[in-house]
Structure formats: structure tokens, C-alpha cells
Structure 1
Amino acid sequence: MVVDQNILSLFVSVCFVCFTVLVAFLLYRFLHLRNETVRKLIHITVSNWVFILVYGFDNIGYALLGPIMFIFINTVFVYGGFGRYLGMGDRKRDNGLIYFPITLLILTLSYYKGIMRECDVILGVLAMGYGDGLAALIGSRIGKHKYNAFGANKSYEGSFVMFVTTLVIALLLDYSIPVSVIVAVVATILESITPLGLDNLTVPIMTALIGVISC
């Protein structure tokens, strides 16, 4: 029996995300990691789903099912109070869990409609996943020089990590050096100034659009 590639990719997608959340719960429950650390580990890991998106699906209907499903699941997770099992309780920030699959939905539509290339979608998602995730994790550890952006406490060290991470991702995706620098600067600024978890929308969409414009 041959399993359709799209059904297999959808199954792998669900298993991948569920396994990520399960591991995060175990790390929080038994290793007592800080809730912010758990949040960002999920953030980074789940962003890798973009590779299943661009290489695992060849049908837009199946590709859209994942983001749509997780918009619903994450909404229930946040507003049903299930975030407490991972130490999450700041609903305004937890809304970022809903914004991220909304972003994936937008980028998926753009990709399958020919507006964006594979590299543009990957750039946007990884800039948010790895850039923002590592900026928060490393910035919380070594960030000594603080600044306030729209009520959010940031560190220059964390913003520098965001810049470098996004720059490296863009270069690895074969964008030119000038475009990579512009992408990194824009992503860093947006991550710094966008409040209430909305950077999960602004950073990936804007960085992907810069990739589109640059081609």
C-alpha cells in the first residue's frame, strides 16, 4: 500500500509538533526549566516545520491543514488555560502562539500562489524561530545592557544575537550580502519594537517580503 505523500507529511507534521510539546512539558516538569526557556525551545523547534511545508507537500489543501489546525489548537491552549502546564500564564504574550501558525498560513498561501519562493518562506520562518528564540535564550543569560521598547525589556546582547542569527540564515539561503544585512537589520528592529507577541507576524512576513523584493 502506497501512502500519499501529502497525507504522510501531514501525519509527520502533527507527530513532530506533538512530540515537541511533550518534550517541552517533560523538561518543564522534571528539569524545572524556566517557562520562558520552554516557550523559546518550542518556538525554535517548531519553526523547523517549514522544511516539511516546502519539501513534503505538493498540494495546497493539505499544506494549509497544518497551520489551520494549529491555529485552532493553540487558541484552545491559550484561552483554555492549558498554558499553565508549561508555566505560561501571560495571555497577551501567549497570543504569540496563535500568531505564529497564522503567519505560517499566510506564507503557505503565498508560496503555493507563486508569490514567494521556497527560500523566502524558509527565511521568514527561521528568522522568527531561530532569531527570536536564540535572542531571548542568550539575551536572558548574558544580556547586561538593557533597553525598553514599548514596555518590553530587551537587551542589546539579545538584539545582536537576533541580527547575527538572521544574517547567517539569509547568507546560508544564498541571499546577497547587502540583502542579508537589510533582512537582519529589519528583523532585529521589528523584533525589538513589536509588542504583545505580534513580532510572530511582523518579523517572518516582512523578512520574507524583503526576500521576494530582492529577487
Structure 2
Amino acid sequence: MLTQFPDFILTPPLWLQITIVAAWVFLILAIAGFVNRFATSDPEILRKIVHIGAGHVILIAWWLNIPASIGIGASVLASIVTLLSYILPILPGINSVGRQSLGTFFYAVSVGVLVASFWSLQQQQYAAIGMMVMCWGDGLAALVGQRFGQHKYKVLGTQKSWEGSLAMLVVSFLVCSLILLGVFGNIWQIWAVSLAVAFTATSLEAFSFLGVDNLTVPLGSAVLAYVLMQLWY
């Protein structure tokens, strides 16, 4: 089981919770800005830094016992900002993917849906699974596919690579296993559930038209992990 932290560590005042989350988001954006200035201006690299880093907000929210209302409210606000960014130059570096995509909007929506669904059940680990599979699995799949993808395939007109899909499969299995291990300990169900989640997430990521995988991957992974653990554990 997860280590039980003292209440004063797990549940700081609301103002401090919001400050910690805001500080994390600012840190991720600062790292992306630093990399952009001193290392590379490759928009895909910069996007994935934000894509992977920002998703860890859900782990912070879980650790700090941040109320669901805060997470949902932040998701609604972020969704509005991302929608506006498709019209106004608010997030040009993040939205520049070289194709028509609503991925940033779906990303923000997925956070709110995960929090609304699993905070009320006191099963935050499944929200974390959904978000971490999307952040690390989908994020690294894109980078590996772009850099090393030699064997291509197409799904609904979207080109993917087997190398990127393999990265998605492996990373999804690892992050799901680590989270479930932390909650349930080393039991056989964890490995079976993680494998099922990894294959499902990889399949959903292949159908990424308009960036919809930023919604289907986290929600599909979280729901599948939850249902299977309810059935098998």
C-alpha cells in the first residue's frame, strides 16, 4: 500500500495547494523556454516537454489531496484558454504541430474528466494511470517515432511508425505497473491489467486524428484499469 503521510503533509492549506500546482506549471514552462533558447527550437521537443511535464499535476493533486472542484475548475479554465489559442496567438509554440489538431484542448478536458470521475470514488490512482499513460506513453511515442521511426503504417490517414507504437506499449506498461504496485503491492493482477492497458492505449494512440488520442488514451486507460481491477482483485 502507499505510504501514509501525516495529514499536515498530505493536506496543506488550499492557498498552498494552488501555489504548489501553479509553481509546477510555471517550472515546466520555464524549462521549455530555457530549452528553446539554449538547446533547440524544435517545436516537437518543446511541445513534449510541456506534454509530459504538465500531466504530473495530477500526481501532485493526488499527493496533496487537492479537492476535485479545484482540478475540475482548472481544467475548465485551461480548456477555454486552449480553445482561444486556436484563434489567438496565445500558445503558438504548443499548438504548432504541423497539422490540424485539437490535441491541446483534449488534453485539458481529459484532466477534468479524470478528476471528476475518480476523485469522487476515492480511486485517484486510476486518474493518475490515465494521465501518466498519455504523458509518458504518447509523449515518448511521438519522439521515438519522429527520430527513429523507419517502419511506417497509416490509420485513417494518420501516419504512425511501429517504433513509436512499441515505445508507447512499453512505456504504458511500465507507468501503469509502477502506480498499481505502489497501491496494491506485488500481485499477479497488476501485470495482467498493465499489459491490457498498454495494448489498449497503444491501439487508441494509433487513432489520433485531430489529436483525439489526448482524450481517448487517458480515459480509456483509466477506465480499463479500474474495471479490470474491480473484476480481478
User: Is TM (by shorter chain) over 0.5?
Assistant: yes
Query: Does the CA contact (< 8 Å) of 1:131 and 1:162 recur in 2?
Result: yes
Q: Do structure 1's residue 182 and structure 2's residue 196 form an aligned pair?
A: yes
- How much does 1:141 deviate? 1.3
Q: Do structure 1's residue 63 and structure 2's residue 63 form an aligned pair?
A: no
Q: Which residue of 2 aligns with 1:82?
A: 90
Mapping for residues 4-83 of structure 1, pairs under 5 Å: 5-83=13-91
Question: Residue 210 of structure 2 aligns to a residue in which SS?
Answer: coil
Distance 1:43 1:68 in 2: 18
- Letter matched to residue 28 of structure 1: N
Where structure 2 has 5 or more consecutive residues not aligned to the other structure, the ranges are 1-7, 182-188
Q: Give the TM-score, by structure 2 length.
A: 0.82
Q: Which residue of 2 aligns with 1:144?
A: 150
Cα distance change, pair 85–58 in 1 and its aligned pair in 2 (3 A)? closer
**For this pair of structures, how many residues does the alignment match?**
212
Q: Give the TM-score, by structure 1 length.
A: 0.89
Picking from 134, 146, 149, the partner of 1:128 is 134
Distance 2:49 2:81 in 1: 19
- How much does 1:91 deviate? 6.7
Query: Does the CA contact (< 8 Å) of 2:28 and 2:54 recur in 1?
Result: yes
Where structure 1 has 5 or more consecutive residues not aligned to the other structure, the ranges are none
Q: Which residue of 2 aligns with 1:155?
A: 161
Question: Cα RMSD (Å) of the superposition?
Answer: 2.2
Q: Do structure 1's residue 98 and structure 2's residue 105 form an aligned pair?
A: yes
Distance 1:87 1:183 in 2: 28
- How much does 1:85 deviate? 4.6
Question: Residue 209 of structure 2 aligns to a residue in which SS?
Answer: coil
Question: Residue 135 of structure 1 aligns to a residue in which SS?
Answer: helix
- How much does 1:88 deviate? 1.6
- How much does 1:86 deviate? 5.5
Picking from 170, 173, 178, the partner of 1:172 is 178
Cα distance change, pair 76–29 in 1 and its aligned pair in 2 (3 A)? farther
